[in-house]
Structure formats: structure tokens, C-alpha cells
Amino acid sequence: MSMINKRDDNPANRDPITGAPGAHPVGVGVGAAAGGVAGAAAGSIGGPVGAAVGAGVGAVVGGLAGKGAAEQIDPTVEDAYWRENYAHRPYVPSGAPYTAYRPAFQFGWESKDRYPGKKYDEIESDLEREWTRSEHSSTLPWDKARPAVKDAWGRCGACGCG
């Protein structure tokens, strides 16, 4: 399955109004509005024409920033997915509560945002160091957390490009 299909299948990455893949229109709109205001303010130095040009450029840049923010991983969707599916993962012992593995899943999906464009194998040693320094390592050591972190990174909600 391609990255696009996984991304398009995730409800968090679909427009809630049309169901089409992409960013939520509110995120894009808010970004465009904020960018327009900022651009107009910056362009006001050049007078009315500068303000108009600045507003237009700011709206485009702000809209793109809003689109990017709207496409970020939805933690509510990710948590619901893992809560529903964790018990079927081969590394989770039978009867283990979700709360035992939730920090590792969350660490995985959040790490995807912290290391944009990176593959899991490129940053695994960094993730291990971060996990080992975290409060969660005392209850779930890295060797137990690692498969859940990698699993959540691979699903990642936004692109599935693990």
C-alpha cells in the first residue's frame, strides 16, 4: 500500500465536511487569515499598495502553514486506534492493560512530528536515549517499549511511512 493510500484512509487526514483527503478547511482558513493580517501589517510600510500585497502574500503563506498544522497527527484518533488494537500486537502479553503500552504508542506517534522526513531506523538510537531518560522507562524498559514505539511510528496517523 502506498503512503498516499494510508494517509487518505486515516479519518484524521480527511476534510470532515467533504470527506476528501487533505487538511481541515478551518486550519487552512485560520492560517490564511492570520497570515493576511501579518502580511498587511508588514506591508504597511510601503503604503496602501504595500499593505495589499503584504496581505495577499501573507494569506498564501499563512494558508500553507495552516494546512500543515491541520494535517498533523490527531492524538485523539491515534489513542483510539491503539486502545482498540493494542491487545492484538504480537509484543503485547495477553491480559496486559492498555495503560502499560500507551506511553510507548504515544511516544512513537509524537516522535514522528519531532523528526520530520526521517525514517525510523535513522533515529532509533535517539529515540532509545529519549525513552531511557523518560519517566516511563522505569515501568516499560526500552526493549519492551521499542516494538510499540516503532509500530506507532510506522502507522503515524499522518502518512504511514515508517
The answer to whether residue 31 sits within a structural domain is: yes
60 and 87 inside one domain? no
User: What pLDDT score does 5 carry?
Assistant: 41
Q: What is the pLDDT of residue 141?
A: 97
In a domain, 12, yes or no: no
Same domain, 31 and 48: yes
- For residue 49, what pLDDT is reported? 60
In this prediction, residue 87 carries a pLDDT of 96
Regarding whether 133 and 104 lie in a shared domain, the answer is yes
**Is residue 33 in some structural domain?**
yes
Give pLDDT < 70 ranges for the chain.
Answer: 1-72, 156-162
Q: Give residues with Cβ within 8 angstroms of 120, minimum separation 6.
A: 150, 153, 154, 162
**Which residues are within 8 A (CB) of 53 and not within 5 positions of it... i.e. 6 or more apart?**
39, 43, 46
Count: domains in the chain: 2
Q: How far is CA 140 from the centre of its chain?
A: 24
- In this prediction, residue 139 carries a pLDDT of 95
Q: Based on the fold, state whether residues 91 and 56 are members of the same structural domain.
A: no
Residue 42 has what pLDDT? 53
- Establish if 98 belongs to a structural domain: yes
Based on the fold, state whether residues 80 and 55 are members of the same structural domain: no
Range of the domain at 85: 75-155
Q: Are residues 84 and 146 in the same domain?
A: yes
Last residue of a domain, one of 70, 99, 131: 70
